[in-house]
Amino acid sequence: MEIKKPNHPHQYHLPNPTRIIFILITILSHSTTTTTTSFPKPPPIPILPLPTSHQLSWQLSEMALFLHFGTNTFTDSEWGTGQADPSVFNPTRLNATQWVTVAKENGFSRVILTAKHHDGFCLWPSDYTDYCVRSSNWRNGSGDVVGDLAMAARENGVQLGLYLSPWDRHEGVYGKTLEYNEYYMAQMTELLTRYGNVNEVWLDGAKGEGEKDMEYFFENWFSLIHQLQPSAVIFSDAGPDVRWVGDEGGYASTTCWSLFNCSNAAIGNTDSRYSQGGDQLGHDWVPPECDVSIRPGWFWHSSESPKSATELLELYYNSVGRNCLLLLNVPPNSSGLISEEDVKVLREFTDLRRSIFSHNVAKTAIVSASSTRGGYNDTRFAARLILDEGIFTYWAPNKNKSPWEIYLDFQEPVSFNVVQIQEPIQMGQRIAKFHVDVVNEDGGWSEVFNGTTVGYRRLLRFQMVKTQGLRLVIDKARADPLVAYLGVHVDTVSINRAVKCNTSLFSNFNGSQVLHQIVHNHTRVSSI
């Protein structure tokens, strides 16, 4: 049968029977194509509770610098009486830009200033009291520490936080419930309306024994803060946005949930064990903050010296490395500068962190997993994504498909003693129990670490091993576990020297061959 040439390049003139068959085939083909179209698997359902965008920003900052500064700096005190003459405050070389620069250069994304400590002296010219910088000799009474710091932070891209102590040992209306709450909220309004963006408001329930009884209107305060500074997180013993970790030593619990029940906590009266561990069944997202000072005291004292860089590294492992933010107090001295000996230690601390975490031994490893959400070819949840830094891409297993395992094949023997794990916390905190194995010389798995929670970041340390394969096994989770990042590192500084490194169990074998044999025999590998 001859097909006539078309008058139009896309128009064929077919005899009627043939045309009907052609149309039917076209319709059936189109119908088949439509019904078999494969759409991508959507992401897993986030598991409640979830962090707000402001809590996420807070967590991503990892470390903040606390600046305890005031009349106590000049009177060699920790808790001032509120009776010090304002004239003692005279930091003749004060340079808030130096404070911010020290913070930024050493990885601290946020600075928090004691705008008013327990003695009641205000580091800004408040309209509601003369017990402030206006009554000091500094800059002839025209200075504003909060204003200087706010400007320096803004110009250098560093976030600003302010501490306004509820306890006030100077103010005469303290102890009168209504009058003091009005006074406190008026000062809070000054701080939150004069200085631009404030990213964190810090308050606590500290008060000396035998002091006046005082009822604080916390819920009113919180509402005011969120109204005036919607992007700010509020820190206290009981949240509502960020909680105290329960001690001032800079250590979090090895089990550390961001989940919490604010109804089970009270500012100034919260069980420290509950604060440290959080609550796996909690209904609120209230992550912990670890506050600790670089010196024995919170305010600067000429007789005190800072901790060493290795001590700061230990604090980092036990705070940031346990799902917390590290709030390190570095108090300015009486001249108004951060002391050079403190700056030196901070730089050494930065160098130590960089030497350990700037290189991921696993970067060139072959990555596989027990399953992949959406199938092996779905790159949005592939196992190899765990090598990309950050929490906004992640490996996800098939729904309800355990075991949950990730494998690293280093392709040659490598040595390491630190493993870093991150969850995509924007999807909720999930992992409740896990362990890490390495391939030994007999071709089996040897456990090197086991733990409970992970959260934003978990840093694991163990004796040095040399192996060609690693396995992360998630034993228990609140929902299908998700892993955003897996880092493998070498730390030659902080590991306990009393533990003798023994690498003999992990050498002299073809680790790549063993690893492939093990995972394929268990049929638990998904292609990347």
Q: Which residues contact 24 (CB under 8 A, 6 or more apart)?
A: none
User: Tens of pLDDT along 223-250?
Assistant: 999 999 999 999 999 999 999 999 999 9
Q: Is the pLDDT of residue 518 over 70?
A: no
Share of the chain above pLDDT 90, in %: 80
The DSSP annotation for 169-235 comes to: SS-TTTT-HHHHHHHHHHHHHHHHHHSS---EEE------TTPPP----HHHHHHHHHHH-TT-EEE
What pLDDT shows up at residue 50?
98
What pLDDT shows up at residue 37?
67
What pLDDT shows up at residue 36?
54
Q: pLDDT confidence of 4, banded at 50, 70, 90? A: very low
What pLDDT shows up at residue 345?
98
User: Tens of pLDDT along 102-117?
Assistant: 999 999 999 999 999 9
The radius of gyration computed from the CA coordinates of the chain, to the nearest angstrom, equals 29
Q: Mean pLDDT check: name the lowest of 256-260, 261-265, 284-288, 388-392.
A: 261-265
What pLDDT shows up at residue 377?
84
Q: Is the pLDDT of residue 35 over 80?
A: no
Give the global pTM: 0.88
Q: Which residues contact 358 (CB under 8 A, 6 or more apart)?
A: none
Q: Is the pLDDT of residue 21 over 70?
A: no
503's tokens:
């690498």
71's tokens:
């009349």
Amino acid identity of 203?
A: L
What pLDDT shows up at residue 496?
53
* Cα distances (Å, whole numbers) of residue 2 to 12, 13, 27, 341, 446: 11, 10, 24, 95, 75
243 forms bridges with which residues in the sheet?
Answer: 236, 288
User: Tens of pLDDT along 146-161?
Assistant: 999 999 999 999 999 9
454's tokens:
């992970």
Q: pLDDT confidence of 38, banded at 50, 70, 90? A: confident
Contact 416, 488 (CB under 8 A): yes
